[in-house]
Structure 1
């Protein structure tokens, strides 16, 4: 997965207005976009990576003979930690 493009800008601490001016090349067209805070995005990316790692264990690990119940229990415990309360 490629990292998302990050654009440096400024946010007003009063109203929350965002500005990210760039040099104009004469062909500009404004389009509405949705923005997220980079820290929120980074936290979500870290969560996705942790969940993917747990999913990879389920997909790629074969328990030893007679250890299926213990392995499944360990995978469930890991999943519960990643999913959090709820």
Structure 2
């Protein structure tokens, strides 16, 4: 329930973290692949603004923006998530190049 304080500041209820595996940035859906073109038309040098906006939306929808903005940094090679990070990072790179 939304409450309003005396200063008319709206306080929203706490939202629990999702337990859905697809919300994990390392999750790769079985239909995702290296050759998928996420946006159309592809980048041609003249359409950077619209391509960038469309690509950003597509990357956000796939929960992979963290690999582009640096908020999911590469772990140490001996960390248990290292191989997962490499796989997802390479997937994002391939989407950008297709």
Q: TM-score normalised by the shorter chain: which range applies?
A: 0.3 to 0.5
Q: Whose radius of gyration is greater, 1 or 2? A: 1
Q: What is the TM-score when the length of structure 1 is the normalising length? A: 0.33
Q: Greater relative contact order: 1 or 2 (C-alpha under 8 angstroms, separation 6 or more)?
A: 2
